[in-house]
Structure 1
Amino acid sequence: MSESGYPDLLKRISDATEKAVRNAEIYLPDDVKARLTEALKVESVVVAKQELQNILENICLAEERFAPLCQDTGIPVMYITVPYGMTWTPEMEQAVLTGIQNATQHIPLRPNLVDPVSRENTKTNTGLSMPPVHVKHGDRFTITALPKGAGSENVSRIRMMNPSDKGNIPKFVVETMLEAGGRPCPPVILGVGIGGTFDVAASLAKEALLEPVDSMTGYEQEICDQVNQLGIGPMGLGGDTTCLAVKIKTAGCHTASLPVAVNIQCWAARRATVEVPL
């Protein structure tokens, strides 16, 4: 790309970022809405059915009013796919941050990002080495926003298991949700990362939340069924539907290690992708 066209590209990156964040905050993905609608049809507990109806009404109101789905608009975790042959630059990353800052002001978003010790608020949802921007190469230039609220993030867990404990992975996932109870605003989606290293497992669990929830493998379905047997139910008030889906991502790990991470996502499983025109 010519130097003269570079500023225009940076503006398109910023605008695409703002749009991705806006779409994620306001419009729940169709596959998630379908799972919630299906849960309402099969739910047998009266209070749980009412909570699911409230959730679906909330989704409709957000779309009608162009308002965020939840007052906790989270921290926008960003996933960038850059076309092969294109170099990701510090200026491009700054354009993404500018898009987040614009979204914070225009949507608007609640300013959630604070210093971990002083608790001083940046008021832009950027700064302090946050939000994380994950970059990989692919066929298209896309920007994906995954707003992550604190209620579900706070009850996520990671465990360095022994390889001999691999059969206990489902138990660890179920126990994680049992301990979380109603705090992550169920029905939830559970992202599970298995393998890699301590940090890789956590990243895999987060990335798993980007996967469509309209299908599961047999292993994922088995864990999902076990979680639903807990009876926590929508918003923790009891019911058949505690978990909408379990999504698992794996990576190779050391022969003496088995990291397992569970990243819990609330019913407002927000994600949106926007393509940057080139």
Structure 2
Amino acid sequence: MRDSVSAARVRNEQSVAHKQPMSGANPYTKHLVITKERIAHVVADAIPALACSLPHDIVCALESAYQREQQENASSRAAFALDVLMKNAHVAADEARPLCQDTGSVWVCLEVGPNVCVQGDVFSLVNEEVARAYITHKLRCSLVRNALFDRTNTGNNTPAFCEMHACDAPGARVHIMLKGGGSDNASRIVMLPPSAGKQGIIDEILRCVHEKAANACPPLLVGIGVGATFDKVAHLAKMALMRPLDVPARDSETQAFEQELLDAINATGIGAAALGGKTTALGVRVETAPCHIAALPLAINMGCCAMRRASYEL
């Protein structure tokens, strides 16, 4: 297991989902065929790696937060909590053990460019590999058969929640996240009136943080979606969580808003493990889209301190 974890961890750290196309030949002219086996293989390798090792950007953010809290007060509960989280991450990676007992539901998002052809019933094979990975690596299975009528455990952590989107960028990439129940339970969608404006969005986010952050295993990564429609804004927020902390927003206005939200969230004093301090969140990521003139959709997707996600070029 450790070999597959190490190999997938390398691919995780070398993720290039945000890489721009290389200059030179037109990337759209080359037709790319991607088989279902290739996609399923990436997912199969990623699951044990994500379950047992934090992404590099999250590790760095935890270490920076620990240094800040220790400088403020070396004996504080905040510094203690962050130290425990870092030790847990190191032990999990070294011993190939899950970071958390909640090994999450599996979310797979496939983005395909105009020059790409995907062959085969991709998501059926992905589900087979998810089931195999969870059973082989003895990861906790957390899916029930039906949310309302049959809450019997499926026994293999399937179905994975899979989606495919066409995009303008050439090539194809797959985004994978293992999402715990606590952080999703702390998330919400709100259909605000346009008159709420930017301040209304800030107020709603802070209300959510005050009410739910302590139960979402902070320090958090907060994904914010603004715009689109009721069903699409949640996808924006989830994709916001996929953007690494060391990758800035595409425009200065969004960057400034993310920093404003991060400062406001950390000023709540909830802190790491809800024990107080200045690190309620490690980062805030915002994705926006057009919307109807009568609407201001807002989605808040909380990501816990075990933010298990990665993106891979195919």
Do they fold alike, i.e. is TM over 0.5? yes
Q: Who is 2:25 aligned against?
A: none
Helix, strand or coil: the match of 1:60? helix
Q: 2 CA distance for matches of 1:91 and 1:189?
A: 33
Q: Which amino acid aligns with 2:188?
A: R
Tell me if structure 2 keeps the 8 A contact 1:67–1:107. no
Check if 1:271 corresponds to 2:297. Answer: no
Q: 2:170 corresponds to which residue? A: 139
Instruction: Looking at secondary structure, tell me which structure has more strand per residue.
Output: 2
Partner deviation per Cα, 1:219-239 (whole Å, 9 max, x = no partner): 100011001111001111111
Q: CA deviation at 1:90?
A: 5.5
Render the CA deviation track for 1:159-199: whole Å, top value 9, x for unaligned: 11110101311111111110014100100010000001111
Aligned ranges for residues 168-207 of structure 1 at < 5 Å? Answer: 168-207=200-239
Larger mean CA deviation between 36-45 and 46-55 belongs to 36-45
What is the match of residue 80 of structure 2?
50
What TM-score, normalized to structure 1? 0.90
CA distance in structure 1 between the aligned counterparts of 2:136 and 2:171, rounded to whole angstroms: 27
Q: Which amino acid aligns with 1:165?
A: A
Cα contact 1:190–1:246 (8 A) shared by 2: yes
Separation in 2 of the partners of 1:134 and 1:62? 31
Provide, for residues 61-97 of structure 1, a one-character-per-residue CA deviation record: whole Å limited to 9, x for no partner: 1110111211101101112233543334561221211
- Aligned residue number for residue 44 of structure 2: 18
- Give distance in 2, aligned partners of 1:86 and 1:98: 24
CA contact (8 A) 1:69 1:268 kept: yes
Question: Which residue, out of 151, 159, 173, partners 1:119?
Answer: 151
Answer yes or no: is the 8 Å Cα contact 1:23–1:272 preserved in 2. no
CA contact (8 A) 1:191 1:209 kept: yes
Counterpart CA distance in 1 for 2:242 and 2:292 is: 26
1:249 corresponding residue in structure 2: 287
Task: Work out whether residues 224 and 243 of structure 1, in 8 Å CA contact, stay in contact via their aligned partners in 2.
Answer: yes
Higher relative contact order (CA 8 A, sep 6+): 1
- Aligned partners of 1:92 and 1:186: how far apart in 2? 35
Contact 1:188-1:266 at 8 Å conserved across structures: yes
Listed as ranges, the gaps of 5+ residues in structure 2 are 1-32, 250-254
Across the aligned residues of Structure 1 and Structure 2, the Cα RMSD in angstroms comes to 1.9
Moved more, 71-80 or 84-93: 84-93
Partner of 1:41: 67
Alpha-carbon distance, 1:275 to partner: 4.4
Please state whether the residue corresponding to 1:250 is helix, strand or coil. Answer: strand
1:109 to 129, 132, 139: 139
Quote the Cα distance in structure 1 between the aligned partners of 2:147 and 2:256.
Answer: 40
Residue 102 of structure 2 aligns with which residue? 72
For 1:28, the equivalent position in structure 2 comes to 54
Partner of 1:100: 130
Deviates more, 1:194-203 or 1:37-46: 37-46
Q: CA deviation at 1:111?
A: 0.9
Scaled by the length of structure 2, the TM-score of the pair is: 0.80
Among all aligned residue pairs of Structure 1 and Structure 2, give the percentage whose two residues are the same amino acid: 34
**Take 2:259 and 2:272, find their aligned partners in 1: how far apart are those partners?**
19
Looking at structure 2, the residues matched to 176 and 116 of structure 1 have their Cα atoms a distance apart, in angstroms, of 24
Report if aligned partners of 2:242, 2:311 keep a CA contact under 8 Å in 1: no
Length, aligned pairs only: 268
Distance 1:125 1:180 in 2: 26
Deviation, 1:248, is: 0.4
Paired AA for residue 300 in structure 2: V
Change (3 A) 1:161 1:192: same
Is it true that 1:208 corresponds to 2:234 in the alignment? no
For 1:212-251, list aligned pairs within 5 A. 212-214=244-246, 215=248, 217-251=255-289
State the AA in 1 paired with 2:89. I
